Structure formats: C-alpha cells, structure tokens
Chains A and B, each alone.
Chain A
C-alpha cells in the first residue's frame, strides 16, 4: 500500500470560533488532534459541527482563534493550499468527469506526472473496490459507489487530514453499515488522520477514537467513546448517548457522591456526576440497557426497584425493548431478556451507580470541568 498519511505530530485548534451576522455558530473550540487519530464531531443539526469542519477545511474563515499544525498556522492558508481531503455529504463529485478523472483531479492540480497519476488513481480505485467502474460517469453509480469515489478522490492525495461531513447520511441503513466498516478499514490500513462529522451517535461511537459533542456551538464533552458512553458530562450528552430515560426529580439527601432523588412517584438512589445538594432540581439519566425487567424470583438486593405496567414491547434481535408506565404515570424505556406482554405488571431494577444525577440547568453544570482526555492516554 503506497497511499499513506503525510505526517505531522499534532493539529491544534485554539479557541476556534465562527459567527454568522452576530450569531455564534461555534464558540471556543479547543482540540488537539494527534496524527492518525479518528475524531468524531457529534451533535444535533445546528450544533456547529459542520461549521467547525468547514473552518478546518478553509471553506469558512474563522471569526476568532487559530488552527496550528506543529505550531505552524494553517488557518491563514486558503482551502486549496491546506492539503486536506474532504468528503461531502452529497458526495460533490464532478458530474461531467469519469470516476477516474474525478479521482485524478487533485493530482493533476498538483502537477503530478501522468504516469504516476495513472498508477495512484488505479491504486485508490482498487482500495475502494471500484476498478471496473473507472470509466463511468458519477451519475451512473449508486449512492454508495459515489461516496466511495468521493473517498478515493480525497485519500489519493495522501492528505494531512481527511474531513468527512456526514458522509453516510444520504445512504440507506444497510449501505450505511457497510460503508461504516469500509471507512474504519480504510482508516486502519492507511492511518489517515480523520475528522468526521455526524449526528448519529452509534456511527460516532463505532468509528472514532475520540468524540467531541457539541451543542449550540459549545463543546459539551470530549472523550473516548467509552467515557462518553458510560460517563456523559451532562444530561444533554447523556440524551445524545442513548440515555432515553431523562427524569426531572428533586434531591432528597446527599451522601458523598451518592444521593437519593424523588418525584413523580419514584424514589431512586443514584450517582451524582458533578455536584448536587439537597432540594436541587436535577435531571436523572438512565439508559434502557441498565433499567431492566427483573425476572421473577431473581434477587433485587442493592438495586432500585420500580413497579410498572408494560405498554409496548419491541423485539430487537436478542432482547426486548419495552416501554412501561409507572403507577404515577411516568413512562420508562427498559430492556427485558424475555418477552413480557402488554398489560403485565413487572418489577424494574437498576443499579444506583447507573442512575446518573445531573443539574437540570445545563449552565449550572457548565462550570464543572469537562473531561478532556490527555493526549498521551489515547491509543493511536
């Protein structure tokens, strides 16, 4: 494999910000990306993730902040001089050029000799398994094939950084999974430093070495998939990470990092993530996976238990996703290993360590430190 990453040690974003007509789209993004790392920018639409990517690519000028590669500023360079490859959501292939010529475009712009272009294009097309489509026009290819051309077009230049802007969101579910594996495979074999924008937490968790969660232009949390998955920094991140049960409750008693919270007919022991005092209004996050239907006869010692009535049961392969309602009318999303019937009375159990207690007010939480994994601890 001769396609490989051109190397640098670290790419730094320092207080990067961008506003549109006085509206802040991105505020103070600080991030250090090490060579070979796969970073996902994650957030709902309008959170600033695409703005961040376009700023990195040079398609949008920064309003403030700096972008540095090994302490050399790149934010002053125009997009065409940055040497970054970009993959667009709508592929953005040149519709009038064949697949081959699309991939060769960047090499021609760099004045690479013709023989080398031919060789490298063939290699890149082999990499994305499109050799037999080389002479077709993009319009003759399927969505997945078009996106593979776009990826080949970006990586054939051996860019210092590959930027991907929701590259899979225009594909159907099956193709999305295939392409996800494909992107992971490419990243592993080429070691290309990648920044990947998505609103799909599953995609981000499965692809990235580190995730950056954004909300309204502000960084919410930066960490490894496991950190974000297990210890979201606030309820917003928790919500995004699949903690479907978000309950607005009140703190009763606090005991170190443990607290008892109640309201809506529930009383739960839980874990305080940052800070909470008695009588604070808090938002409690519980993942459906952690809140399970207790099998009859199983021990519930050490667990919070809730009585509820089953409403909806969905089969999800190996287990069942159940929507249950408590006597006080609170809906809960839970998992069960065997199928309950709608209308059944069940006991739900959850370990106190998996009941995460957050300040209901995001601003009150914002004062607490956001977990930023130190660079050294990240496996490359």
Chain B
C-alpha cells in the first residue's frame, strides 16, 4: 500500500522529457485548438448572443399582449398557444413539411436503387435529378409561376389542346408550395440516400439472393434495415428544410390561407405588427417543434442496427 503511494509520488516527481504539446496531448488537449478561437468569436457574436437575445425578447411582451392574454412575462407564449390564428400555423406548416419530407425520402429510395447500377444515360439522369439543388427557392418559385400559373405554359397548352376547359389551379395554393418543397428538397434526399445505399456491400444482397430471398424479401429483410438509419437522417434534414419554408409559401402559396406557415407568421408579427417579441416567440417555437420531431425520429432510429454495413461507406 505504502509502496504504491510512494511510486505514485515518485512518478509525479520525474520530469517528463516530452514536449509540452505531447504532454498536453496525453491529457487529451490539442495545443492547436487555439486556432479555433476566431471561429468561436464569430459563433458567439453571430449565433449564441443573438439567439440568447431572442429568447430574452420572448419574455418581454408588448403591453397590449399582456393586457389581452395575461400571463405576465409569458404572455407571448400564452398567445401562441391560445390564439387559434397563430397556433393553426403549426398544423399548416406540419401539413406541408411532413408530407414533403416523406415524399422526398420515399421517392429517393427506388431512384437511388435504380441508379446504383451502371447503365447508359446514368450520368445524365442523376445530373437531372440533382440539378435543382443549384436553383434558389425564389428562382424555383418564379419558374413555377411561369410554368404552372393560370396563364402559364402548362395551362395554356392544356386549354389550347382542349384537354381541359378551366385552367388548373396549381400555384398560389397548397400544391404550389408542395411542388416547390419537392423541387428544392428532393435533390438533397436523393444524394443522401444514394450515398447511404452505396455504403451497403452489394455482396450482402447477393448472399440473400443465393439463400432464396426474392427482391421483396431482400428489400424488407436486408436492405431496408441497413438503410433505415440513413433514411431517418435524410428525413430529418429534408424535414427541417421544409419546415422553415418561407419564400415559396409567400410566392407560390396562399399566404393568407393554406400556406400560412410559421415562418410567415413570425415575419408578419415583426413586419406588420411591429411585435418584435412575438416574432421571436414564434421563431423559438419553430425550433422547439423541429426538435420534438427530430427527437421522435432519432428515438425510432435508435432501434435500428447502425454499425458497419460492409461497403465503402
């Protein structure tokens, strides 16, 4: 016992001959971390401080809010949950973001499967699928209006050929925003699913074939379970993208009705009602709701196998 203590003491007394950087590294400190300092300053100044400031704002409601809704410093939150006009926007946003994210992920799967093999025209097809990533939302919205609006090419063509006699209402409503979310979100989903799929060793599927599994069984029993964690991640990313939809909800949507999304409500509170603290409250609640959905998806993801899938990953 005493000798153990002694040896520990003697060990501390022995001066290490290694360099300072090496000694720090042994304690898990990388001396070069100070290079991160400028970035940290930026993060604190441009993200942490404004974010904290925004949270602070939510507890400083306007006098008229406190009067109407009560709740003292929580008046903004009371209004958010009690005012049907505000709270409804949560469901309106969900109704857009959830189906859009689901559609993007689910449709990516068969396309990623198809594009895994080599064939003529593969590069052309994948370029076509990914190209919309380069278009901004505003450009997409403008294109949608020109193509699918009441006086757009599509309607004029259909009217001129007498296939329809009333123009189709494809933009300035729920559908228009959905199209826009799919056009901008699908390339992300497709790229992610493709890379997750290429991480699965093809010989695993070949093994399932030789064991007598048809394509349906192979997909359900082998590929899907291995792909599921990746699909969950993809879903989260496209969902977050779609949830914060703003420009298209205004440009190709029905901002007063079906596509009165949360981002739009926050903008309105800030721009039209000069209610800065309510705008902050809506923005914070957007984040909270996204986090709740993400937590649910991650909880589901934790039940899947997440280890190596044997491929080039």
Say if the beta carbon of A232 comes within 8 Å of chain B.
no
In the bound complex, residues from chain B placing their C-beta under 8 Å from that of A137 are: 305, 307
Which residues, 70 to 96 on A, are CB-close (under 8 Å) to B?
Answer: 78-86, 88, 90, 92-96
Say if the beta carbon of A291 comes within 8 Å of chain B.
no
Query: Taking A80-B214, A88-B203, A90-B203 as contacts, is the C-beta distance between A105 and B208 under 8 angstroms?
Result: yes
In the bound complex, residues from chain B placing their C-beta under 8 Å from that of A86 are: 206-207, 210
* Proximity bits, B271-313, A CB within 8 Å = 1, else 0: 0000000000000000000000000000000001101111000
Query: Taking A90-B201, A109-B212 as contacts, is the C-beta distance between A95 and B207 under 8 angstroms?
Result: no
Say if the beta carbon of B221 comes within 8 Å of chain A.
yes
Whole-angstrom CA separation of A80 from B209 in the bound complex: 5
Query: Taking A88-B203, A90-B203 as contacts, is the C-beta distance between A79 and B309 under 8 angstroms?
Result: no
Contact A79 B209 (CB under 8 A): yes
Whole-angstrom CA separation of A316 from B226 in the bound complex: 48
Output the least CB separation between A161 and chain B (Å): 10
Shortest Cβ distance from A59 into B: residue: B206
B interface residues, how many (CB within 8 angstroms): 23
Contact A95 B226 (CB under 8 A): yes
Which residues, 136 to 158 on A, are CB-close (under 8 Å) to B?
Answer: 137, 139, 150, 153-154, 157
Contact A92 B212 (CB under 8 A): no
Which residues, 106 to 126 on B, are CB-close (under 8 Å) to A?
Answer: none
* B210 in complex: contacting residue of A80, A93, A94, A95, CB < 8 Å: A80
A82, A88, A94, A153, most chain B CB atoms within 10 A? A94
Query: Taking A106-B211, A109-B217 as contacts, is the C-beta distance between A96 and B225 under 8 angstroms?
Result: yes
Say if the beta carbon of B168 comes within 8 Å of chain A.
no
Output the least CB separation between A98 and chain B (Å): 11
Say if the beta carbon of B213 comes within 8 Å of chain A.
yes
Say if the beta carbon of A174 comes within 8 Å of chain B.
no
A106, A153, A163, most chain B CB atoms within 10 A? A106
In the bound complex, residues from chain A placing their C-beta under 8 Å from that of B210 are: 57-59, 79-80, 82, 84-86, 154, 163
In the bound complex, residues from chain A placing their C-beta under 8 Å from that of B208 are: 94, 105
Contact A109 B207 (CB under 8 A): no
How many chain A residues sit at the interface, stated as a range, is 20 to 34
Whole-angstrom CA separation of A81 from B209 in the bound complex: 9
Query: Taking A80-B214, A90-B203, A109-B217 as contacts, is the C-beta distance between A96 and B305 under 8 angstroms?
Result: yes
Whole-angstrom CA separation of A79 from B211 in the bound complex: 8
A81, A95, A105, A110, most chain B CB atoms within 10 A? A95
Which residues, 89 to 138 on B, are CB-close (under 8 Å) to A?
Answer: none
Say if the beta carbon of B62 comes within 8 Å of chain A.
no
Say if the beta carbon of B78 comes within 8 Å of chain A.
no
Contact A92 B209 (CB under 8 A): no
Query: Taking A59-B209, A139-B307, A139-B308 as contacts, is the C-beta distance between A92 and B204 under 8 angstroms?
Result: yes
Which residues, 151 to 194 on A, are CB-close (under 8 Å) to B?
Answer: 153-154, 157, 163
Say if the beta carbon of B269 comes within 8 Å of chain A.
no
In the bound complex, residues from chain B placing their C-beta under 8 Å from that of A96 are: 225-226, 304-305, 307
Say if the beta carbon of B222 comes within 8 Å of chain A.
yes
Contact A95 B211 (CB under 8 A): no
Output the least CB separation between B60 and chain A (Å): 51
Contact B213 A92 (CB under 8 A): no
Output the least CB separation between A135 and chain B (Å): 14
Whole-angstrom CA separation of A95 from B206 in the bound complex: 14
* Proximity bits, B205-248, A CB within 8 Å = 1, else 0: 01111111110010001100110000000000000000000000
Shortest Cβ distance from A86 into B: residue: B210
Contact B212 A95 (CB under 8 A): no
In the bound complex, residues from chain A placing their C-beta under 8 Å from that of B201 are: 90, 92
Whole-angstrom CA separation of A66 from B207 in the bound complex: 23
In the bound complex, residues from chain A placing their C-beta under 8 Å from that of B221 are: 105
Shortest Cβ distance from A84 into B: residue: B210
Contact B206 A105 (CB under 8 A): no
Whole-angstrom CA separation of A353 from B14 in the bound complex: 74
In the bound complex, residues from chain B placing their C-beta under 8 Å from that of A109 are: 211-213, 217
Contact B310 A110 (CB under 8 A): no
Contact A92 B211 (CB under 8 A): no
Whole-angstrom CA separation of A81 from B215 in the bound complex: 12
Contact A106 B212 (CB under 8 A): yes
Shortest Cβ distance from A78 into B: residue: B209
Query: Taking A94-B222, A95-B226, A95-B310 as contacts, is the C-beta distance between A80 and B206 under 8 angstroms?
Result: no
Output the least CB separation between B216 and chain A (Å): 11
Shortest Cβ distance from B207 into A: residue: A92
* Proximity bits, A269-295, B CB within 8 Å = 1, else 0: 000000000000000000000000000
* Proximity bits, B186-205, A CB within 8 Å = 1, else 0: 00000000000000010110
Contact B308 A105 (CB under 8 A): no
B206, B305, B309, most chain A CB atoms within 10 A? B206
Shortest Cβ distance from B304 into A: residue: A96
* A95 in complex: contacting residue of B209, B214, B309, CB < 8 Å: B309
Shortest Cβ distance from B222 into A: residue: A94
Contact B310 A153 (CB under 8 A): no
A86, A96, A163, most chain B CB atoms within 10 A? A96
Contact B211 A105 (CB under 8 A): yes
* A110 in complex: contacting residue of B204, B206, B207, B212, CB < 8 Å: B212
Shortest Cβ distance from A139 into B: residue: B307
* B310 in complex: contacting residue of A57, A90, A106, CB < 8 Å: A90
Shortest Cβ distance from B210 into A: residue: A86
Query: Taking A80-B214, A105-B221 as contacts, is the C-beta distance between A94 and B204 under 8 angstroms?
Result: yes
- Closest 9 A-B residue pairs measured CB to CB? A96-B305, A106-B211, A92-B207, A86-B210, A92-B203, A109-B212, A79-B209, A109-B213, A80-B212
Kindly list 13 other residue pairs between chains A and B, CB separation below 8 angstroms, not including A59-B206, A92-B203, A163-B210. Answer: A57-B210, A59-B209, A79-B209, A92-B201, A92-B207, A92-B310, A93-B204, A93-B207, A96-B307, A109-B212, A109-B213, A109-B217, A153-B211
Interface, chain B (partner A; CB < 8 A): 201, 203-204, 206-214, 217, 221-222, 225-226, 304-305, 307-310
Task: Offer 23 A-B interface pairs, CB within 8 angstroms, sorted by A.
Answer: A58-B210, A59-B206, A59-B209, A79-B206, A79-B209, A79-B210, A82-B210, A83-B212, A86-B206, A86-B207, A90-B203, A95-B226, A96-B226, A96-B304, A105-B208, A105-B213, A105-B221, A106-B211, A109-B212, A153-B207, A157-B211, A157-B212, A163-B210
